[in-house]
Structure 1
Amino acid sequence: MSRFSFLEWPVFRQLRSDDSFGRGSAVTSPKTRSITPRTTTADRVVQSVCPYCAVGCGQRVFVKDEKVVHIEGDPDSPISRGRLCPKGAASEQLVNASGRQTRVLYRAPRSDTWEYLDLDTATEMIADRFIASRRNTWQDADDTGRPLKRTMGIAALGGATLDNEENYLIKKLFTAAGAIQLENQARI
């Protein structure tokens, strides 16, 4: 550790330097001077869209060693002009959260334990259940004979972390399947 010197106090550095108002280098500590921003060490910057709502704010995603290290607003975005709401500004945590699930978990009926499934098995299970539910709850017409062509056994709630295009495709899929109970978290 270096020896303490009164000459290194910010007020003395301010008087000795060009920073007479003490707003720059005179009041910056050696530790602060040695720190480099994460954004300067990133391997690449990828343009993206904030996943949280339907506004579509632009984001700049800084990637280093194939890992997201920082996300900030994109100043080139005509929508947000470089600004992000608190949720959008914290979206890096969505990617790098230690508790984020990256594998499919399944709990069998009346079981108290979770088990891991591979993605293909889980997808097949969902598709089989979707088709069975549609088949078992299909309403072709009401009691008076008016055509309904719908199912009340399937509902969808789109997530706010999906982008507009994904929510649009989900809406089209469920509407084509006859589901009428559709909602989106971003709209609520």
Structure 2
Amino acid sequence: MGRFSMLEWPVLRQFRSGDYLGRGPAVESARTRNLTSRNETADRVVQSVCPYCAVGCGQRVYVKDEKVIQIEGDTDSPVSRGRLCPKGSASEQLVNAPGRQYQVLYRAPKSTEWQHLDRDTAIEMIAQRFVESRRNGWQERDDKGRLLRRTMGIASLGGATLDNEENYLIKKLFTAAGAIQIENQARI
């Protein structure tokens, strides 16, 4: 940092430059003039949608060296017009969190240790448990002999992070499986 000069005092700069109200470059320090946006160094900008709720706010994802460096609201989005809620504004932390898991973790019943599973094994385990629960909770008829064809062994509680199309497909899947306990967090 250079030596301080009284001529660089903001009030004197205001009067010397004619910026009497102090609303122009006279009140900028040399450090402020040299600042640049961290987004200027981005290699590319990718348009995306916020993952947190079903509103679908538009985001601009700034990428440098194949790493997300910043996420901001997309001003071209008709939904959010460049605005993001606090969670959407912090979604860069979701992407770059040091504790983010990239593998499926499984903890067996009564175990104290987590183990890594490949994705296909995890999906197969879920499918088997789904079918078994459906079978064990199946009700063909009630006490009076009326046809039910339903299961009380499975239920669905959807979340607002899913969009309408995803919730529609989940509703169709669980209805086809015979579940009647289908709810969504957005409706509760």
TM-score, normalised relative to structure 2: 0.86
Q: Once the two structures are superposed, what CA deviation does each residue of 1:15-50 show, in whole Å capped at 9, x if it has no partner?
A: 233543223422223333332212222222222222
Letter in 2 for 1:179: A
Distance in 2 (alpha carbons) for counterparts of 1:185 and 1:117: 29
Distance in 2 (alpha carbons) for counterparts of 1:66 and 1:168: 34
Letter in 1 for 2:140: D
1:122 match: secondary structure? helix
| Equivalence for 2:147 | 147
Q: Which of the pair has the greater relative contact order for Cα pairs under 8 Å at 6+ separation?
A: 1
Aligned pairs for 1:152-163 (under 5 A) are 152-163=152-163
| Equivalence for 2:10 | 10
Which shifted more, 68-77 or 126-135? Answer: 68-77
Aligned pairs for 1:1-188 (under 5 A) are 1-17=1-17, 19-188=19-188
Distance 1:166 1:33, change over 3 A: farther
**Per-residue deviation at 1:91?**
2.1
> CA contact under 8 A between 2:104 and 2:117: conserved in structure 1?
yes
Distance in 2 (alpha carbons) for counterparts of 1:182 and 1:94: 29
Letter in 2 for 1:159: G
| Percent of residue pairs identical | 77
CA RMSD of aligned residues (A): 2.1
**Per-residue deviation at 1:151?**
1.4
Distance in 2 (alpha carbons) for counterparts of 1:95 and 1:76: 23
2:140 match: secondary structure? strand
* Unpaired segments ≥5 residues, structure 2: none
Distance in 1 (alpha carbons) for counterparts of 2:14 and 2:95: 43
Letter in 1 for 2:76: D
1:162 match: secondary structure? coil
> CA contact under 8 A between 1:51 and 1:163: conserved in structure 2?
no
> CA contact under 8 A between 1:140 and 1:150: conserved in structure 2?
yes
Q: Once the two structures are superposed, what CA deviation does each residue of 1:45-73 show, in whole Å capped at 9, x if it has no partner?
A: 22222222222222222222222222222
1:131 match: secondary structure? helix
**Per-residue deviation at 1:146?**
2.3
